[in-house]
């Protein structure tokens, strides 16, 4: 993986190599990876403008106070919303469009393990947040991100490099076991980001897996098995394997700002913090260097540099046999069913 020292060195050059007043939107930024990353962003960016989207006013107030201390010149604003329903997503996007003409970074970490709870949109809560909510934000805000004159990036913190089989008869994953649901969710996320990249080749898209990080995702865990997993994670795994919050924030900020993750159009002169001589542009989800969509985790020798060959082969098969197209058409159809439109006006 990219050494933490190099990650921090890159982050320390954000203020000197990227323009001031970068505009960033952190959805799910009131806890976990989102919180850690927004604090890192506040620490390093020059006079940023940050929108924090989440449910907890109390958490948002605390985080914003901490960010203002880290960066008195920054602007930090909370938008309270339930983004498990598409109406909530669209309302947030309309507010953002009324305030901004361009966005540099969309960072999404909203999630849930509420597998049986059904939202008012008729979707399982877990899939509503991890798939449909995220892609609705992407499609709604893509024009503003394309408008940005410097950094143009979308980061989705989920289950990268866990891509697995897709059941086309149950794309929402209702009733799936945890591992099967995770693997299908991961495949769908990467394929959907590839579709977004086709629409916006000047935007870079990164799908990440943070590893074991202290967060609030287990609060919606259901059933005895999930309760056991929650307890095992808290009392056994976390002390041994957990990535510290500060390191998680540093690594995700690197993913969000480094030129290592170039858009398809910007391969020759990638947007982001310039690379030092020991680093190179990462391999995309299609196996090609700098192709604009990246599925990365922080493990192994290739951590942070690209997907495994097995994942690349599986994604290639999905593109070849039409699965990728069917996944994208399904999500668009659900958007139209629920809201009447593919993107919010």
Question: Residue 127 is encoded by which pair of tokens?
Answer: 């899939």
Mean pLDDT of the chain: 90
The answer as to whether 31 is a domain residue is yes
pLDDT, position 307: 85
Beta bridge partners of 50: 24, 76
Check pLDDT > 50 for residue 234. no
Determine if residue 36 is left, alpha or beta; phi over 0 gives left, psi from -120 to 50 gives alpha, anything else beta. Answer: alpha
- Per-residue confidence band for 205, with pLDDT thresholds at 50, 70 and 90: very high
Q: What is the mean predicted confidence (pLDDT) over 154-176?
A: 95
C-alpha 243: how far from chain center: 17
Domain count, the chain: 1
Identify the CATH number of the domain in which residue 204 sits. 3.40.50.720
Structural domain boundaries, residue 115: 4-339
**Between residues 328 and 239, the one the model is more confident about:** 328
What's the confidence (pLDDT) of residue 138? Answer: 98
For residue 344, being part of any structural domain is answered with no
Residue 107 covered by a domain: yes
Q: Is residue 302 part of a domain?
A: yes
Statement: residue 302 has pLDDT above 70: no
| 345 in any annotated domain | no
Q: Residues of 107-117 as b/e, b for ≥16 C-beta within 10 angstroms?
A: bbbbbbbbbee
Given pLDDT bands bounded at 50, 70 and 90, which one contains residue 297?
confident
What tens digit of pLDDT does each residue of 85-125 get?
Answer: 999 999 999 999 999 999 999 999 998 887 789 999 999 99
The pLDDT value recorded for residue 211 is 67
pLDDT at 155 over 80: yes
Q: Identify whether 84 is part of a domain.
A: yes
| β-strand partners of 235 | none
Q: Classify residue 142: in a domain, yes or no.
A: yes
Q: How confident is the model at residue 243 (pLDDT cuts 50, 70, 90)?
A: confident
Q: What is the mean pLDDT of residues 166-177?
A: 94
Which whole-number Å values give the CA distances from 149 to 123, 153, 206, 258, 297, in the listed order? 37, 12, 19, 16, 28
**Phi first, then psi: what are they for 276, rounded to 5°?**
-80, 175
Give the model confidence (pLDDT) of 36-67 as tens digits. 999 999 999 999 999 999 999 999 999 999 99
Beta bridge partners of 199: none
Written as six digits, the tokens of 8 are: 């921090």
């Amino acid at each position: 993986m990219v050494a933490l020292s190099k990650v921090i060195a890159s982050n320390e050059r954000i203020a000197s190599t990227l323009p001031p007043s970068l505009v960033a939107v952190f959805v799910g930024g009131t806890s976990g990876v989102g919180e850690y990353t927004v604090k890192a962003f506040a620490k390093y960016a020059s006079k940023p403008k940050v929108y924090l989207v989440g449910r907890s006013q109390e958490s948002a107030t605390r985080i914003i106070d901490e960010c203002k201390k880290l960066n008195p010149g920054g602007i930090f604003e909370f938008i309270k919303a339930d983004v498990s329903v598409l109406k909530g997503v669209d309302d947030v996007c309309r507010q953002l469009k009324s305030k901004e003409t361009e966005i540099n970074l969309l960072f999404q970490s909203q999630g849930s393990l509420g597998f049986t709870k059904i939202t008012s949109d008729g979707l399982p809560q877990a899939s509503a947040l991890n798939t449909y909510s995220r892609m609705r934000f992407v499609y709604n805000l893509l024009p503003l991100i394309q408008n940005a004159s410097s950094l143009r990036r979308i980061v989705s913190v989920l289950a990268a490099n866990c891509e697995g089989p897709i059941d086309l008869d149950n794309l929402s994953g209702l009733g799936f076991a945890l591992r099967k649901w995770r693997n299908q969710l991961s495949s769908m996320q990467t394929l959907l980001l590839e579709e977004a990249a086709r629409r916006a080749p000047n935007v870079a898209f990164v799908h990440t897996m943070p590893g074991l990080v202290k967060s609030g995702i287990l609060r919606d865990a259901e059933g005895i098995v999930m309760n056991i997993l929650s307890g095992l994670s808290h009392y056994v795994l976390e002390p041994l394997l957990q990535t510290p919050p500060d390191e998680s924030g540093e690594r995700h900020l690197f993913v969000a700002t480094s030129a290592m993750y170039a858009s398809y159009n910007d391969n020759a002169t990638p947007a982001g913090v310039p690379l030092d001589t020991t680093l190179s542009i990462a391999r995309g989800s299609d196996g090609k260097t700098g192709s604009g969509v990246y599925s990365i985790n922080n493990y192994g020798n290739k951590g942070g540099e690209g997907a495994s060959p097995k994942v690349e082969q599986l994604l290639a098969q999905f593109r070849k046999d039409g699965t990728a197209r069917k996944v994208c058409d399904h999500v668009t159809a659900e958007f139209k069913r629920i809201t009447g439109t593919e993107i919010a006006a």
